[in-house]
Structures are given as C-alpha cells and as structure tokens.
Amino acid sequence: MFKRILLAEDDRASAQRVKNQLEHFGYNVITVGNGRQALDIILSEPVDLLITDVVMPEMDGVDLYLALKQDERTAHLPVIIITDKQMFKDSFATLGVDHFVPKASDIKMLLKKIHDIEKAGGAQAEFNEYRKILIGGADRGVLSRMQGLLQEYRGLVSVADNSMDLASKVFSMAPHIILLDVRMRDNALPSELVRSFRALNSFQNTRIIIYCSVPVDQAALDPSNLSVIEEEVSACIAAGANKYIGRFSPLTFIDILQKMEALSFGKEFAPST
C-alpha cells in the first residue's frame, strides 16, 4: 500500500475534500497548489504516488510530468492525471500516462485507480517526449488544417484566432513553439504580441515561427497586401521571432517544421504510435 500520496490541485476546496477522503482510507496525503511546489517536495521527500491537475499556476501538470520523467530520480513515480478534457487525455497518453480520473469524481473511482496502480507495482507505459504547440491566426480554416496536421505528431496542439485568446493560452500552456500568422482576426499586430512575449523571461526560449495565411492569388489582387505582409514580417523578426516560413501550404508545412526542429532541438517530430 502506498504510504505517501502527493496531491497537486490549485482548487483548495477540492484538494481538501480529496485529502480527507483518502486519509479516511488510511493514506497519508500532502496537498500543494501548483506544479512547482509538487516538484520541490518530490525531490526532497519520499512520495509513492502523484495525483495532479493539469491547469495550475507557476508550473502546470504537463510541465510537472515532463520534469519528473526526464529526471532519473523521479522517472519511476506513478502519476494520476485529473482532467475531464479528452484533449488533455490524448496528449498525456502520448507521453505514456494511462491513469486518469475526472474532476469531482466519486472517491470509489479514485480508490480503484490507486489500487490498480498498487497491484501493478506502480508501472506505467514508456515515457515519450513531446512538444506543446500554440497556433495563432486569422483564418480558421488554415488553423484547423495546421492543427490537424500537427495532431498526427506527438504533442499538445491548441489554436487561437484572436489576440486575447492567444495571450491567455500562451500563459496557461507555456508552449514550446508558437506558430503566429502575420495577421490576426482582431487586427492586433503580431509583432507587438511577439515583443510582449519576449519581454518575459519565461518565454525567452520559446520558439516563435511566423507564417502567412493569405493565399497567393488573394495577395496578388491587391499589391498593397504584399507590402503590409512584408513590413509585418520584418517587424516580427525585429521583435524576436525566430523564423518566417512563408505562406501556409499543407504539402510542405510538416517538412519545413521537421527541418526547423532538427536545427533548433536536434530532434525531428516523431509521429505518435
């Protein structure tokens, strides 16, 4: 039987409820409000099992899991993910997680999951590395196609068609890669978005890739469009964007990103299996 369980949950009421329920069944439960606190405890004290929410301040459940599995001292620790979202389940599954419980689940469901892990000796599937990718742009059709192409590859992929949603997801996801159109639906300047992200230390190493969703024939109808696009591309690069990859083409999109990943991270995208 597990002796010490660590619960990472930023909702204090939910955390206290789960703690009381598990302690009633004989478990010693420690609660923390974010992934950073959880990681500090795991590295300094014996913990038999981690139960973690996904969306938390300071360090989310994704980055917490990655940090644990990339450290040989903590790679063996079994993890249960608390989430109702299929997107999160699919993304964690590509990383090797196969233990999930929904939010506000019955204590019997959580206890069964804990007992199953205890019987299996804490074993989980093999850990796989992946990327968190955020795509911003004005054309919802292009966003959908880009997301569809990238979902064939290992990673959590999200989209935003306006600057407010983009900024919110940048801070909640902490993406490894931002793919940003040279125009946004609310007419926000992508270069200003890039500048604001680069001003924060936590996004200094985020790879920001600029693209254009305007079709060639549409741009040709109005030559002024070409000038505006060129000016904004230059402004984005000056603000700190890493690369401009031109107009989106589903035929070359993945090939371009594979080459850029090989240059920036030393690894190509790997299709999920």
Per-residue pLDDT of 76-120, as tens digits, reads 899 999 988 876 777 676 666 778 888 877 788 899 999 988 887
Q: How confident is the model over 241-264, as a mean pLDDT?
A: 82
55-62 long-range CB contacts below 8 Å, 24 or more apart? Answer: 55/10, 55/172, 56/8, 56/9, 56/10, 57/10, 57/33, 58/34, 59/34, 59/35, 60/35, 60/172, 60/173, 60/174, 61/8, 61/35, 62/91, 62/92, 62/132, 62/156, 62/173
- Domain(s) labelled CATH 3.40.50.2300 in the chain stretch across 4-119, 131-264
199-225 pLDDT, tens digit each: 988 788 899 999 999 875 554 456 667
pLDDT in tens, 24-50: 999 999 999 999 999 999 999 999 999
Nearest alpha-carbon partner for 195 in 243, 236, 136 = 236
Per-residue pLDDT tens digits for 178-202: 999 998 888 789 999 999 999 988 7
Give the domain 131-264 fold. Answer: Rossmann fold (3.40.50)
Of the pLDDT bands very low, low, confident and very high (cuts 50, 70, 90), residue 154 is low
Q: How confident is the model at residue 273 (pLDDT cuts 50, 70, 90)?
A: very low
Per-residue pLDDT band at 142 (split at 50, 70, 90): very high
Band the pLDDT of 263: cuts 50, 70, 90: very low
Q: What is the CATH number of domain 4-119?
A: 3.40.50.2300
239 and 191 Cβ atoms separated by less than 8 Å? yes
Please give the DSSP secondary-structure letter assigned to residue 201: G
Residue 23, phi then psi, degrees to nearest 5: -70, -25
Q: Mean pLDDT for the chain? A: 84
Q: What is the pLDDT of residue 264?
A: 42
Who has greater pLDDT, 17 or 264?
Answer: 17
Looking at the predicted structure, is the pLDDT value of residue 53 above 70?
Answer: yes
What average pLDDT does the segment 250-254 reach? Answer: 90
